[in-house]
Chains A and B, each alone.
Chain A
Amino acid sequence: MPSRNTNTRQTLITAAAFILMEVAALVMIYHNAELQRAWFSRGIQSFNATVWGAVEEAGGYFSLRRDNARLAEENLYLTRQVEQLTARLNAQDAPEADGEWTYLPARIVKHQYRGQHNFYLLDKGSGDGVRLGSGVLTARGVVGIIDAVSEHYSYVRSFYNDGMTVSARVDSLGVVAPLVWDGASRGGARLKDIPHHINIPEGSVIRTSSFSGIFPPDVPLGLSGASDKAMDGTQTLSVTLFEEPASLRYVRIVSHRHRDEMEELAHE
């Protein structure tokens, strides 16, 4: 009596022979009959379309993770491109006071803006032409002042520091006063030493003044809020700054072309 393995082998051989003979018959028909050839071709094309369509669909499903990773990389790359181009565009659009100011775009590589002593580290240094005491800003406000420079990096003392002062001006009135961080909130500042008699409406735009050798004039800083009158005949105005320090990625380093000459003259 034949074993089970022998039967299975015989069945497989028979099935293979059957398929082989039928395929041979189909090939013969294909090569000898025009009508049947056209019919077979249609069938084969339809089969291929169905099979490959299914294979493509399944392949597409299983490669979703890889595609997502690739898209995420592309997205990151494009986002960086957009940010870089925006930074360049902003640098071009920034106010240039009679060509006296030079701008250098930079990227923030490290920052701290949680404590009382906040700073940024930029990817541009003395090798790129950065000088100590240069201003750092964006189109939405002042960021800080270069406090230390190495060949490839710069250390920026943030505006959000005690003792940091920026010369500001109330846009509608032309009143100039020092702007300082309020020491408590992000985006909060105070415009100090404004004469008592000047009434500044809330919502007035505060800009940099033209009396600074660090920042160019008319850079928008924020909007005025309530005023607080002091006993010494001055008032302090609360200011809501435009720039949000946590979202900063790109900045511009700004310096006056003739700063050395101005400082030399001032010392004399």
Chain B
Amino acid sequence: MNKMLVYFLLLLIQVILSQLIQPGPDWVLTILPVMMLCFPTDWSTLRCMLFAFFSALFVDFFSGGIIGLNVLALVPVAWSRNFFLRKFFNDELVDRGAALSMRKWGFPAVLGLIVLLTALFLLVYIVVDASDQRSLLLEGRTFLLSLVCDTVLALLVLPSILER
């Protein structure tokens, strides 16, 4: 299936998840960071950021949350995506636009990338969402809980994103 089609489907799933599950202050439910891997690896950072910006804005509008919060958290993920791809895999992957596959690069590297992108998203999201109203301990707990849940969720949707 076309990766961009998968991307838009995941975007709808994200909106539905946000509306149905209504995450409380203790955890953040998101698959937006892992969705950044749907973009072809040879896409420029600017292009990734533009897609991330409008996608996150779409989610913000239809999920009933704070408008701009997902944008604020997802754009840095898109900005750093190519950098992490080069660091976790190699330059050739980005330069040649090779496909990202679990079999070729191994589960640990892919998992590490997902955890890092998700952690970056959650860090911005949770800090701005709390707005200095919650203790550092509570924010840390929310972060860890969300990171575990979102990583599991990302692993569930990962087969549709990666090359078989």
Contact = CB atoms under 8 A, between A and B. Distances in A.
Chain A facing B: main interface SS: helix
Contact of B49 (A17, A35, A36, A39): A17
Interface residues on A, range: 20 to 34
A228 interface: no
Interface string B58-102: 001000001111011001100100000000000000000000000
Interface of B: 44-46, 49-50, 53, 60, 66-69, 71-72, 75-76, 79, 128, 131-133
A21 B49 contact: yes
Contacts of A33: 66, 69
13 contacts: A10-B44, A17-B50, A18-B75, A21-B49, A21-B71, A22-B76, A25-B71, A25-B75, A28-B71, A29-B72, A29-B128, A35-B131, A39-B131
B131 A26 contact: no
Given A14-B46, A21-B75, A29 B69 contact: yes
A10 B47 CA distance: 12
A24 B68 CA distance: 8
Interface of A: 10, 13-14, 17-18, 21-22, 24-29, 32-33, 35-36, 38-39, 42
Contacts, number: 58
A106 to B, nearest CB: 72
Contacts of B76: 18, 22
Nearest to A37: B131
A257 B44 CA distance: 103
A36 B67 CA distance: 11
Contacts of B133: 35, 39
Contacts of B128: 29, 36
